[in-house]
Amino acid sequence: MSYHVLARKWRPQSFKEMVGQEHVLRPLINALDNERLHHAYLFTGTRGVGKTTIARILAKCLNCESGISSSPCNECSSCVEVLEGRSVDVLEIDAASRTKVEDTRELLENVQYRPARSTFKIYLIDEVHMLSGHSFNALLKTLEEPPPHVKFLLATTELQKLPATVLSRCLQFCLKNMPQDQIISHLKKVLSSENINYEESALFDLARAGAGSMRDALSLTDQAISFGSGEVLAKDVQIMLGAVERQKILMLLEAVMEESPREALKIIEQMSENAPNFEFALDELTSLIHAIAVTQAVPDIDNQYLEHVDYITSMAERLAPEDVQLFYQTAINGKRDLIFAPDMRVGFEMIILRMIAFRPQGVIDENHKIANLQSEFDKEGAAEKEADSSAIKSSPLTQNSRKVRLQNKLDTPHSSSLDWNKIFVNLELSGISYNIASHCALVGFDDSRLSLILDKEHANLFKERHLKIIEDSLSAYFKKEISLLIEIGQPPSETPAQRAVRLETARQLDAQESVNRDQELKGLIDRFDGELDPSSIMPLK
């Protein structure tokens, strides 16, 4: 006995068996039951949403021997012949293979003759947009005023390619993509009826891979059954689709949130061992970020990550809404650029690194800023540098006397000799933590407790985890346990970030003045009647 694929075996044979598309079925059912029939129907939509299926059911409804109704018997000879594709009065035509005007004229030569056995002679033209311009012209007159015994049922995936003259002569029905929950529900019904064991998470992956097409989802399910030796299991489906284990996606987003590029790249390395489809992985990550954003907006809403609801809730509380929106924007923009990457993995890695690097307010280039700040400090005077550097840049492992001086500094309550700008350039910080510290000013130090004021304009950067990172860096730098307090407000003194801007501005002005004093350059400008673009002047590093 030959095997029937699921997409054909479970093709609906009546409107009641259809899944979804109620907005199309309702007017058709009412028209049939009241015998208010049009001569031409046009069904549009993407592949696998039911265009041809509805057209065939409509053909059975029109020619059923029990009479015109929305419920064909599916038992009479007319219904059986339509079902088996051998009805002499229902001509199913593939326009893709009959595009020439001669084919259309040959087809229409027999329009005037009445049907052999049925009520109507029905022309079901699939992919009608493939007809040539001359073919459409040959069809127009008949399509507008066909004999009363003729009905046209047209189907197309590309409505925009049909001439307006054809559209104006048809009743149009636009079929929608199938929602994932409807596809999953139908797959459950099919697999249960077929006595096939399945995991619900596997059906989610199949439904999403179907991209709104019930036929595609059923075809993939057939493939999954073969791949899994009679079972539809999540692990097998992920391998078959090139999908990524969802737990890896959760771990990856965690690494992004913790600003840990090393951990993120390690997870991607583990993902690559199974040769995944990184575009699919990016879609999965984008869906996860969307679920977090929705949970932040409407905490009690259901989403497709029900099995990870605790994780979603936790991430929604830990991540700032602006971070979630930035991650989502980075993901969807990255998908657009993914095809330009040397390979998909490289492109995926760059998207993840962008998420880590480009947080709100940006990230200071620490190496460049540290070098410039340190250089400027070196210029402030040998005497001041000698006095401060012996306390700030102490090395207790090599100079015991410097250790004593540093300890005295730390033990002095509210010490005014500590300079936050000079401490900052020697802290081992990166990312957002570095950025936060750069916008702080020192307001006091008592015993082992250090107090900072964070500029209120940059308060949105601050999270509790950043306090711990800066505190640990201070403790490592001073070789002593430091307790850190960061308050939001107006810094009482210049912050490292403000100092960097001031020094950079001064260097830029010096560079511009140096260029303006250049007599050779002035001569060239006068000779060629040129003009100097100030934005092109940059100080030497």
Task: Label each residue of 284-300 as H, E or C.
Answer: HHHHHHHHHHHHHHCCC
Domains 180-241 and 246-357 belong to one CATH topology: no
Q: Reduced to 3 states, what is the DSSP secondary structure of residue 41?
A: strand
Return the CATH number of the domain spanning residue range 180-241. 1.10.8.60
The closest of 177, 216, 179, 170 to 43, measured between CA atoms, is 170
Calculate the alpha carbon distances from 212 to 176, 302, 315 in Å: 8, 20, 29
Task: Label each residue of 132-160 as H, E or C.
Answer: CHHHHHHHHHHHHCCCCCEEEEEEECCHH
* Alpha-helical regions (H) of 145-260: 164-167, 180-193, 200-209, 214-227, 234-241, 246-257
Task: Report pTM.
Answer: 0.58
Given a contact cutoff of 8 angstroms between Cβ atoms, the answer to whether 332 and 286 are in contact is: yes
Sign of CA dihedral 336, 342, 348, 350: negative
Q: Does domain 246-357 have CATH number 3.20.190.10?
A: no
Return the CATH number of the domain spanning residue range 6-174. 3.40.50.300
Instruction: Give residue 541's pLDDT.
Output: 61
pLDDT digits (tens, 9 = 90+) for 367-416: 444 444 445 445 544 444 444 444 334 433 333 333 333 333 333 333 44
Which residue ranges make up each domain of the chain?
Answer: 6-174, 180-241, 246-357, 366-497, 499-536
Given a contact cutoff of 8 angstroms between Cβ atoms, the answer to whether 282 and 246 are in contact is: no
Instruction: Give residue 400's pLDDT.
Output: 35
Topology classification of domain 366-497: GMP Synthetase; Chain A, domain 3 (3.30.300)
Please state at what angle helix 246-257 crosses helix 321-337, rounded to 10 degrees: 120
Q: What is the pLDDT along the chain (541 residues), one digit of tens a residue?
A: 467 788 888 888 889 888 888 999 999 999 999 989 999 999 998 888 889 999 999 999 999 988 898 999 988 999 998 888 888 888 888 887 776 777 777 777 778 888 888 889 898 988 888 888 888 887 888 888 888 898 999 999 988 888 888 888 899 999 998 888 889 999 999 999 999 999 888 888 888 888 888 999 999 999 999 888 888 988 888 888 876 777 888 899 999 988 889 999 999 998 888 778 888 889 889 988 998 999 888 877 666 555 678 888 888 888 888 889 999 999 999 998 888 888 899 999 999 999 988 865 444 444 444 444 445 445 544 444 444 444 334 433 333 333 333 333 333 333 448 789 889 998 988 878 888 999 999 998 887 889 999 998 888 778 888 888 999 999 998 888 999 999 999 999 999 999 988 988 888 888 888 888 888 777 777 777 777 777 777 777 6
* Alpha-helical regions (H) of 306-381: 309-318, 321-337, 344-357, 366-378
Instruction: Give residue 303's pLDDT.
Output: 61
